[in-house]
Amino acid sequence: MSASKDLERLVQEIADSRNERMVFIENLKNESLNLIKSLSRDRDNMTQSLHQQLKKYRPALDAMEKERQKEALMENNKRREWDKDRKNEALKERDQRIKWNNEVLENFMSEFHNDSQADKQQRLEGVKTLKDDSQADKQQRLKGIKTLKAEVSRMRGDIQNWLKNMRDELSPPLKAFVSDLKASEKDRKSSDKAFVSDLRASEKDRKSSEQAELAAMAAAWRKKPSRVSLSDPETIQEIVEPEPLKEVDTSEEPEEQTQPDEEVETEHSYYDNAPLKETVMSTLFDYADGLKMTQLAELLDIEQWRMLIPVMRDLMDSKQIRKEGSLYFTL
DSSP of 19-54: HHHHHHHHHHHHHHHHHHHHHHHHHHHHHHHHHHSH
Triad 10, 14, 15: Cα angle to 5°: 115
Which helix (H) or strand (E) is 162 found in, with range? helix 54-222
Using the predicted structure, report yes or no on whether residue 296 has a pLDDT greater than 70: yes
Short-list 198, 149, 153, 171, CA closest to 278 = 171
Mean pLDDT, the chain, integer: 79
pLDDT exceeds 80 at position 151: yes
Identity of residue 272: D
Question: pLDDT at residue 166 above 70?
Answer: yes
What CA–CA distance (Å, rounded) separates 176 from 116?
88
Average pLDDT (251-271) is: 38
* Residue range 261-331 in CATH 1.10.1040.10: no
Q: What is the pLDDT of residue 328?
A: 92
Give strand ranges (E) for the chain: 321-324, 327-330
pLDDT band at 273 (very low <50, low <70, confident <90, very high): low
Asked if the model's pLDDT at residue 310 lies above 80, the reply is yes
**Listed range (37-41, 243-247, 284-288) with the worst mean pLDDT:** 243-247
- What is the β-pairing status of strands 321-324 and 327-330? antiparallel
Q: Is the pLDDT of residue 254 over 70?
A: no
C-alpha 216/C-alpha 210 separation (Å) is 10
CB 316 within 8 A of CB 323: yes
Residue 245: CA count within 13 A, CB half-sphere: 13
Residue 81 has pLDDT above 80, yes or no: yes
Q: What gap in Å lies between CA 309 and CA 268, rounded to an integer?
A: 10
Indicate the DSSP class of residue 330.
E
What's the whole-model pTM score? 0.23
Is the confidence at residue 267, as pLDDT, over 60? no
297 exposed, middle or buried (CB, 10 Å; 0-12, 13-18, 19+)?
A: buried
3-state secondary structure at position 258: coil
The winner for highest mean pLDDT among 167-171, 253-257, 297-301 is: 297-301
In this predicted structure, the answer to whether residue 230 has a pLDDT above a threshold of 60 is no
Confidence class for position 171, pLDDT limits 50, 70, 90: confident
Higher pLDDT, 224 or 174: 174
Where does the pLDDT of residue 51 fall: very low under 50, low under 70, confident under 90, or very high at 90 and above?
confident
Can you give the pLDDT at residue 202?
Answer: 76
User: For residue 240, is pLDDT > 80?
Assistant: no
DSSP 291: B
pLDDT given for residue 74 in this prediction:
92
- Range from 44-48, 51-55, 205-209, 312-316 carrying the lowest mean pLDDT: 51-55
245: Cβ–Cβ under 8 A, 6 or more apart, which residues? 203
